Amino acid sequence: MRPPTNQEIIKLLSEMVVFYEMDDVPFKPQAYERVVQAIETLDREVADIYNEQGVDGLRKIPGVGEGIAYHLELLIKKGTFLEYEKYKKKIPVRISELLAVEGLGAKTIKTLYQKLKIKNLADLEKAATAGKIQKLPHFGAKSEEKILKGIEFLKKSKGRFTLGHLLPIINLIENRLRKIPGVQHVTTAGSVRRMQDTVGDIDILVTAKNSAKVMEVFVKMPEVEHVYGRGLTKTNVRLNLPAGGGIDADVRVVPEAVYGAALQYFTGSKEHNIEVRKLAIKKGYKLSEYGLFRGKKLIAAKTEEDVYKKLGLIWIPPEIRTASGEIEAALRQAQGISPGLPNLIPYGSIRGDLQIQTNWTDGANSLEEMVKAAMAVGLEYIAITDHTRSLAMTGGLDEKGLARQAKEIDRINKKLQATCLPDRQASYPMGRWPTGQIGKLQVLKSAEVNVLKDGKLDIADEALKKLDLVSMAIHSHFHLSEKEQTERIIRAIKHPLVNIFFHPTGRVIGRRPAYALDMAKILRAAKEYGVAMEINSFPDRLDLKDTHIRQAVEIGVKLVIDSDAHSVQHFAFYNLGIGQARRGWATKKDVLNTLPCGEFLKAIKSLKK
């Protein structure tokens, strides 16, 4: 039997949360919830941990004690456990299916099952359409309508959206709210401020004197499809997105005097906030979105810095507020003990882009157009990385093709440096580039060399030697076993000419999961054989993931952050990649392409002892 994946374990444990809640069992739901959260942020398979370290390994997962470790062991060995089977028999309801409907929770699911025998989404829709739900005690016409709306939403919604695709609409909404008289701050908090790769909803925090006016403007926006709830401090709507689909958005309006406390609260993550509030309680305080209090006395609220400081912490960057060691680090730093918080890589600090495709293969623009666009966003060097021979669908280049392209690059290097000066003041969707020295964009010869099934590269060494930089990538045989895939990748990493591993997990958010691989092993090999790992900034790649970046940083593997631009519009995404790097605790020193061109080349070559 195949051992359960983390996703399957999470689904089962989440159902246990609801079963216990339906059964009015106290405290167990929270205990299970905590384990679900821990496994969600785990960068390894629980089954692998068990196979290597047994029950002791399971108990090292935060929140897993004797009882849950025992359940997990059975789950891994038998695919289920007694307690779960017991409840499934007692309450034969498709929990996760019903839970996905907006507004339904454990208690409602219980009532619907007991009174109307509703076991799944189809039963629910039938009962709601027939008007049976509104006749139940404590339900009414509105509850029923809400359920039908929820089902409809579920049918056409794809769930989470990538941050990169949402930013334009978020900027639009923020700007509308900023124009309202009396409005002071407008900040999108939540997962957007934490720069998470995907976003489930949009949380906008506003400070204003007249909240009624803010809510009025907000609910009347053309994108608003439905208003879930509207109050003077909180309004909740559903937006229609221009690209199709819909997403929920909240606005909270608070007085300017409590902006910091509210921002801290609404930025999350939920887990981070729970830890911070526990710390507050320990110190005799109470923390809410209205401030830090001792009894009824307000201690801090104006800025986030104040709130953290009064708790004995230093300010923690939003990207790492995940309850995974940042609070302890902030505590240490406030006391002058190291290691404190990492000095995260600043936005706007990328000087060179090492993955760019042109119309020599699957890019939309010519080499020259891409070079000009790169200069316009203020880059100092770029590597041209068209695909190689075996990627037939893109018309991948062979050794001769690469040689021809090299000549073209030589020509452009000569021509453009004299004639095209970058406009470093230009403002771009993702932010403003720093002013600096002008001129001199260096175009490097490179390639996105395809790794064959056996781990060999598809270009001869003689041709690779002529490139400034060699990058490898996986584009086929995604379904090898974890062991085979890992060995294949490590064989390629061992190649003496390889410098960078592009989009290492191969995931495409919302379309394709990562292929099976043992990232810890791959990172150790990358360290040993001097290969840098890419953080691909493309909105639906963002690969490496945050947890892998943190592993890489801990091991001392060097990183690069690229756009993977396939057209001139794609130079707008660096800050997504930097946000991802920050989520992985990366500093400027960890990311090689924050260096000027000459130093970068020296640094990346020196990895290969």
Strand partners, 298: 293
Q: Which is nearer to DNA, 141 or 403 (CB)?
A: 141
Q: Report the C-alpha gap between 138 and 110 in whole angstroms.
A: 13
Please name the amino acid found at residue 245: G
Q: Quickly tell me which residue has 């981070």 as its tokens.
A: 272
Query: Which range touches DNA (CB under 7 A), out of 263-271, 375-383, 390-398, 418-426?
Result: 263-271
Measured between alpha carbons, how far is residue 353 from residues 162, 302, 568, 572 in Å?
A: 22, 40, 13, 12
Strand partners, 532: 500
Member of 137, 222, 244, 336 binding DNA (CB under 7 A): 137
Q: Report the C-alpha gap between 293 and 310 in whole angstroms.
A: 10
Q: Report the C-alpha gap between 428 and 425 in whole angstroms.
A: 9
Strand partners, 250: 203, 236
| DSSP characters over 357-378 | --TTTT-SS-HHHHHHHHHHTT
Q: Which of 605, 492, 604, 498 is nearest to 559 (CA)?
A: 604
| DSSP characters over 447-477 | -EEEBPTTS-BSS-HHHHHTSS--EEE--S-
Q: Which is nearer to DNA, 98 or 581 (CB)?
A: 98
Q: Which is nearer to DNA, 259 or 266 (CB)?
A: 266
Contacts of range 507-512, beta carbons closer than 8 Å, 24 or more positions apart = 507/541, 507/543, 507/545, 508/540, 508/541, 509/162, 509/197, 509/198, 509/539, 509/540, 509/541, 509/542, 510/158, 510/160, 510/162, 510/198, 510/540, 511/540, 512/478
Minimum distance from CB of 213 to DNA (Å)? 15
Q: Report the C-alpha gap between 571 and 599 in whole angstroms.
A: 23
255 binds DNA (CB under 7 A): no
102 binds DNA (CB under 7 A): yes
Per-residue binding string, DNA, 155-194, x by CB under 7 A, is: -----------------------------------x----
Q: Which is nearer to DNA, 262 or 474 (CB)?
A: 262
62 binds DNA (CB under 7 A): yes
Is 494 in contact with 531 (CB distance < 8 Å)? Answer: no
126 binds DNA (CB under 7 A): no
Member of 2, 66, 156, 244 binding DNA (CB under 7 A): 66
The count of chain residues that interact with DNA, using the rule CB under 7 A, is: 61
Minimum distance from CB of 585 to DNA (Å)? 22
Member of 141, 172, 426, 460 binding DNA (CB under 7 A): 141
Member of 54, 65, 92, 439 binding DNA (CB under 7 A): 65
108 binds DNA (CB under 7 A): yes
Query: Taking CB under 7 A as the criterion, which residues in 196-235 touch DNA?
Result: 200-201, 203, 228-234
296 binds DNA (CB under 7 A): no
- Number of helices followed by number of strands (H, E) in the chain: 24, 20
Query: Which range touches DNA (CB under 7 A), out of 46-54, 64-72, 152-160, 494-502?
Result: 64-72
User: In what order do the strands lie in the sheet containing 381-384?
Assistant: 352-356, 381-384, 442-445
Q: Which is nearer to DNA, 275 or 353 (CB)?
A: 275
Q: Which is nearer to DNA, 273 or 551 (CB)?
A: 273
Member of 2, 142, 155, 220 binding DNA (CB under 7 A): 142
Minimum distance from CB of 82 to DNA (Å)? 10
State the DSSP code for 389: T
Query: Which range touches DNA (CB under 7 A), out of 23-31, 216-224, 525-533, 572-580?
Result: 23-31
Q: Report the C-alpha gap between 489 and 552 in whole angstroms.
A: 16
Minimum distance from CB of 377 to DNA (Å)? 34
Measured between alpha carbons, how far is residue 11 from residues 40, 87, 150, 151 in Å?
A: 11, 15, 21, 20
86 binds DNA (CB under 7 A): no
Query: Which range touches DNA (CB under 7 A), out of 57-65, 113-121, 581-589, 599-607?
Result: 57-65
**Phi, then psi, of 42 in degrees rounded to 5:** -70, 140
Minimum distance from CB of 404 to DNA (Å)? 54
267 binds DNA (CB under 7 A): no
What CA dihedral angle connects 12, 17, 19 and 25, to 10 degrees? 150
54 binds DNA (CB under 7 A): no
Query: Which range touches DNA (CB under 7 A), out of 255-263, 279-287, 423-431, 600-608?
Result: 279-287
Query: Which range touches DNA (CB under 7 A), out of 88-96, 142-150, 543-551, 594-602?
Result: 142-150
Member of 74, 104, 148, 154 binding DNA (CB under 7 A): 104
Minimum distance from CB of 157 to DNA (Å)? 12
281 binds DNA (CB under 7 A): yes
Q: Quickly tell me which residue has 């600043």 as its tokens.
A: 346
Member of 134, 366, 390, 417 binding DNA (CB under 7 A): 134
- In terms of Cβ atoms closer than 10 Å to its own Cβ (0-12, 13-18, 19+), residue 56 is exposed
Minimum distance from CB of 116 to DNA (Å)? 14
Query: Which range touches DNA (CB under 7 A), out of 101-109, 374-382, 459-467, 486-494?
Result: 101-109
272 binds DNA (CB under 7 A): no
278 binds DNA (CB under 7 A): yes
3-state secondary structure of 395: coil
- Which residues bind to DNA, rule: CB under 7 A? 26-28, 30-32, 34, 62-69, 83, 102-109, 134, 137-144, 146, 190, 200-201, 203, 228-234, 248, 250, 266, 268, 270, 273-274, 277-278, 281-282, 286-290
